[in-house]
Amino acid sequence: MNASISIIRQSRTQLIGMIDRNSTATLNKIPEGFKNNIIWNIGHVLVSMEAICYKRAGMPMCVDPILVSRYANGTTPLGDADEKEIAEIKALLVASVDQIEKDYTADAFVHYTPWTTGTGIPINSIDDALAFAAYHDGMHMGCILGLRKFL
């Protein structure tokens, strides 16, 4: 198994715990001085990994386009996520990693298009993309932990 996939899976388990330990209202609350909330950060890591891995490889993303439009890079919460949306995000946190692992094992990411992140990190392959996704998950876990201090 790819080490990055294993790290992402562990990160996602922590994010699921975050969902389980907080109410819908808490997940949606944007503290004063912040521009997003816990559930936006969780939805964002889900959608970002899909774009980083599938979109850049010219493959269809596995996440509903509505979620992509709500949680993609550059977005902010436009309203509260309801319990149904939160449950969908929670389920996809694991399902998306399972699918990426399957596709990675099957060498499905052969046409990966190199790119550079907004922070200047070059991503030249699916292995680079998965490593960056693990880093990105951790970065947003830090954001979530910061948000929690103000809730």
Judged against a pLDDT cut of 90, whether residue 1 lies above it is answered with no
Distance from C-alpha of 105 to C-alpha of 107, rounded to nearest angstrom: 5
| DSSP, residue by residue, 34-54 | -S--HHHHHHHHHHHHHHHHT
What is the Cα Rg of the chain in Å? 15
pLDDT in tens, 87-121: 999 999 999 999 999 999 999 999 999 999 999 99
Distance from C-alpha of 48 to C-alpha of 56, rounded to nearest angstrom: 11
Q: Which residues contact 15 (CB under 8 A, 6 or more apart)?
A: 42, 45, 93, 137, 141, 144
Level-2 CATH architecture, domain 3-148: Up-down Bundle (1.20)
Domain ranges for the chain, please list them.
3-148
* Residues recorded for the chain: 151
Q: Where does the pLDDT of residue 142 fall: very low under 50, low under 70, confident under 90, or very high at 90 and above?
A: very high
Q: What is the pLDDT of residue 31?
A: 96
Cα 111 to chain centroid distance, Å, stands at 22
